[in-house]
Structure 1
Amino acid sequence: MATITDPRPQQLDDLVAEHAAPVLSYVRTLVSDHHLAEDIVQETLIRAWRHHERLLTNEGSVRGWLLTVARNLAIDWLRSAANRHESLAGPDRDRAEPDHADAVVATAEATALLSRLSTEHQTVLLHTTMAGRTALETSRILGVPVGTIKSRQHYALNVLRKSRIRPER
């Protein structure tokens, strides 16, 4: 009994060896889930095997074809998940989202606390705490001695601490 050898398995092995890792890396950026990305790459390679004649004609880029197919599969999955009201479960998506109302309340409280400070103290905190500038940089910008900047910052932070708010330093 004669066996028929199909050149496709070796070509598929070569295709996987050359393109699977870059396609996986690309798909991971699209879906942010490693296991889903592996599934999409696997489906992409199955489609490449089914359409091997297109890939062997030397018309266009093999990797370009693979990336296009993978992108389309990822988009199809994301659209499908959105229609089912699902989300990807990953390190960035597996946590509760803060409520917008919490941010509004925090902003109102911060505004009320900052209103207790003079304009000079608010300005120093804006530069040092919010903009991340040093006392020397703030001093140069405001045209005030460094000692005055440090004193205003110290006073402003003490007022906020006494109000039970602990801004980051």
Structure 2
Amino acid sequence: MAGPLWPRTRRGSTDEALIKSVYEEHGHALLAYATRLTGDRAAAEDIVQETLIRAWRHSEVLVNGKGSVRGWLLTVARNIVTDRYRAKAARPPEVSGSPAHPPVEADHADAVVDTMTVLGALDQLSPEHRDVLTELYYRQQSVAEAADTLGIPAGTVKSRSHYALKALREVFRESTRTGGPSPRPGGLQEVVA
């Protein structure tokens, strides 16, 4: 919309009608643009509201006939998004909690269950297979380092790890068939899967 909506006669109801008219004509495009910029509908609605407040405060821009009203609104919305991004980047990260409400720590119960499941499955392997997997995956050693630690050739480490993982997969499959706990993705379980 390039031209003025109507000449301003008095402040107040005319400005309110002007903003209402601007919203009816440009509101959907403004909301779509803000949503694309933020990726968040709720944040986009806040930006549209702030844009319309700025339009109301500077309503003379909407009626002076210079340039496009929609272009001005989109520029204001983009500037608001940029300002919010810069403000968020400049301040330290927010920490939830207060002395009355301490921050919530992550529940480590899933990790404990996974560890117990994997350790139970490792107990069902032969000591040779268990030792190789312990060196390679828990101690994160290379094949050569595991071979040195265990005092066996590197080829034997590779072979034992292959058959150990195969046996471990079978233990997990059997556990799943009998209704036992199964490990979630991550760590040794991904190697086994």
Q: TM-score band (shorter)?
A: 0.3 to 0.5
TM-score by length of 2: 0.43
